[in-house]
Amino acid sequence: MMTNPKRLIPYYQLARQWRDLSDWWPGETPWDVAVSAVLTQNTQWSRAFRALQDLRQAGLDTPDAVARAQRSVLERLVRPAGSFRRKAQTIQALARFVVTECGGHPRRLSTWPLDRARSALLAIHGIGPETADAILLYACGVPVAVVDAYTVRILQRHGLLPAGRWRYEDVQHQMETWFSGDAEAWKELHAQMVTVGRTFCKARGPLCMACPWRPLLPEGRPDDGVSGPRDRVLGLREGISQSRPVELGRPVQ
Ligand code: SF4
């Protein structure tokens, strides 16, 4: 199936010529980014952003403060992001983990062996593989591939992944075979996948003519039979928002 071992590099380079997405995920602190990865699950970024602002205005802007907060207060503040009881529980569990295991600094996870760091995050109720990897990449600076529904749809439409169900870990492994770079490069590649996916690679009717990745489209593609990737990738249960966070600017002042 594979002829070019680094076959995602042309995607990365073409998208870079199209748009600078190097500052795509906003956040004043690594903790902001980690919290927003939870808040934006299955909701629009604007709603997650409002909840993040409310947390900050209430002084709950550090792992220590969130770990000690009353659950009812957290629930009220994260309500704009939806699923507020579960998200409040997840954010507080994440905060307690960061306080007890990382000395209050989420970036310390970057010094852990990757499997251990990922397993620790996955052990927190409400954090699935997409959220765990988004935290590791964007909050902690660990170079990992983040897999989401747009990524799978694009890879399948370009014939890089056969249609059908894929496990999250398998897609991630493929991506890490096809691309290499530091955390900044992985951040940008994921931003490109989401942005191109949202802008052009729509589930019903991809807008290939305007897409920066059209030159990479194999003959006869896209395969219109590829749709609905969300239910084709096992493990994508938490569904981080697919909107572009940076469109709203930096979330906190
Ligand atoms: S819109 Fe077309 S060219 Fe762009 S990523 Fe999707 S299938 Fe490829």
pLDDT in tens, 210-236: 999 999 998 867 755 444 433 344 444
Contact by Cβ (8 Å): 145, 179: yes
At residue 164, the pLDDT reads: 87
At residue 70, the pLDDT reads: 98
In the predicted structure, residue 3 carries a pLDDT above the cut 60 = no
Tell me what the pLDDT averaged over the chain comes to: 88
Last residue of a domain, one of 96, 118, 143: 143
User: Is 251 among the domain residues?
Assistant: no
Confidence of residue 250 (pLDDT cuts 50, 70, 90): very low
Confidence of residue 157 (pLDDT cuts 50, 70, 90): very high
Q: Which of 20-24, 109-113, 155-159, 247-251 has the lowest mean pLDDT?
A: 247-251
What span, in angstroms and rounded, lies between the C-alpha atoms of 67 and 71?
9
- Domains identified in the chain, total number: 2
Q: How far is CA 237 from the centre of its chain?
A: 12
Measured in angstroms, how far is the CA atom of residue 147 from the centroid of ligand 1?
A: 17
- Ligand 1 contacts (CB < 6 A) are 154, 157-158, 196, 200-201, 206-208, 211, 213-214, 217, 222
Question: Do 189 and 131 share a structural domain?
Answer: no
The proportion of the chain whose per-residue pLDDT surpasses 90, expressed as a percent, equals 77
Question: Do 151 and 123 share a structural domain?
Answer: no
Question: Which domain covers residue 106, as residue numbers?
Answer: 30-143
Longest distance between any two alpha carbons in the chain, whole Å? 57
Question: Do 37 and 134 share a structural domain?
Answer: yes
pLDDT in tens, 79-137: 999 999 999 999 999 999 999 999 999 999 999 999 999 999 999 999 999 999 999 99
User: Is 252 among the domain residues?
Assistant: no
CATH of the domain at 159: 1.10.1670.10
Ligand 1: which of 201, 219, 221, 226 to mutate, most ligand atoms within 8 Å of CB? 201
What proportions of the chain, in percent to the nearest 5, are helix, strand and coil? 60, 0, 40
At residue 247, the pLDDT reads: 31
Q: Which of 81-90, 152-161, 183-192, 224-233 has the lowest mean pLDDT?
A: 224-233
Contact by Cβ (8 Å): 21, 188: yes
What span, in angstroms and rounded, lies between the C-alpha atoms of 24 and 218?
28
